[in-house]
Amino acid sequence: MVVQVKPGSHQCHRSMDGNQHKVEANILLLGAENVGKSALTVRFLTRRFIGEYGDIDSIYSHTDNINGREISFNIWDSLYPQDSETTETISEKQLQWADGVILVYSICDRSSFEVVRQQVQLIRHAGKKTSAIAPIIIVGNKRDLQHRRTVSSEEGRLLALSKDCGFFEISAAETYHGVLLVFHGLMELIKESRALSKGGAGIKSIVRSMSAVFGKKRLE
Ligand SMILES: Nc1nc2c(ncn2[C@@H]2O[C@H](COP(=O)(O)OP(=O)(O)OP(=O)(O)O)[C@@H](O)[C@H]2O)c(=O)[nH]1
């Protein structure tokens, strides 16, 4: 079952990882417009590619089974800010909410790769102050459009390597399997990060330094 709720009305969930109960994770999709964030989300939720998706900023809840264990995913399919005045492309609220991030670009849109480069830098820069390594997976989407490729696989892989992120090149249009690997891969990184930090030094804790970067009020 897929449940859709508005971002503002969604509750933050605490993980119950580490015991026999259901594991829950909040996953945030970021990246420039038109790169396939909604296509990835809908593929994961329904196994289908429907071609056209509205401009909706939404959180979806979806339960999946990984290795016999029930995992509850809350997926925030975000919209890239249209306002050219806006320099803040990731909000504190988004980072406070997220347990892990999927940064999407299109392999045939170089500017979308630059957006991912900026966003990963922003997250890592903020994380430095707390030594928090936020689980991030970088995704080069639209792999089916090889003839229009402007970002090589190597560039994507190198960026991911340099920022300690996972990396996948996929086509949300062509296969479900690649999309599944992305979400399950991120879940693995989130579990590792939770095991390492037990006290909650995950992505949420870097919100404080994000606040410092943007000079805004500290979130507790
Ligand atoms: N060829 C191809 N087209 C894709 C793929 N994934 C998405 N698209 C198309 O790319 C366009 C944008 O996809 P969306 O999923 O709406 O992209 P988005 O990043 O959510 O876009 P915004 O809502 O503007 O932020 C649509 O026309 C999709 O059909 C893919 O893997 N291959």
Instruction: Kindly tell me if the per-residue pLDDT of 8 is higher than 50.
Output: no
Neighbours of 92 (CB within 10 A): 20
The verdict on ipTM greater than 0.95 is yes
Which range among 44-53, 97-106, 180-189, 190-199 shows the weakest confidence by mean pLDDT? 190-199
164 Cβ below 6 A of ligand 1: no
Question: What percentage of residues in the chain have a pLDDT greater than 70?
Answer: 75
**To test ligand 1's pocket by mutation, which of 28, 38, 56, 78 has the most ligand atoms within 8 angstroms of CB?**
38
**CA–centroid distance, residue 61 to ligand 1 (Å):** 21
CATH of 3-219 given 3.30.470.20, 3.40.50.300, 3.40.50.720, 3.20.20.70: 3.40.50.300
| Residues near 128 by beta carbon (within 8 Å), at least 6 away in sequence | 209
Distance CA 44, CA 180 (A): 6
User: Which of these, 95, 48, 98, lies nearest to 74 by C-alpha position?
Assistant: 98
Output the pLDDT for position 4.
54
State the burial class of residue 38 (Cβ atoms within 10 Å of its Cβ: 0-12, 13-18, 19+): buried
Distance CA 124, CA 92 (A): 14
**CA–centroid distance, residue 9 to ligand 1 (Å):** 26
| 65 against 210, higher pLDDT | 65
State the burial class of residue 30 (Cβ atoms within 10 Å of its Cβ: 0-12, 13-18, 19+): buried
User: How sure is the predictor about 68, in pLDDT bands with cuts at 50, 70 and 90?
Assistant: confident
Output the pLDDT for position 19.
46
Domain boundaries defined on the chain: 3-219
35 Cβ below 6 A of ligand 1: yes
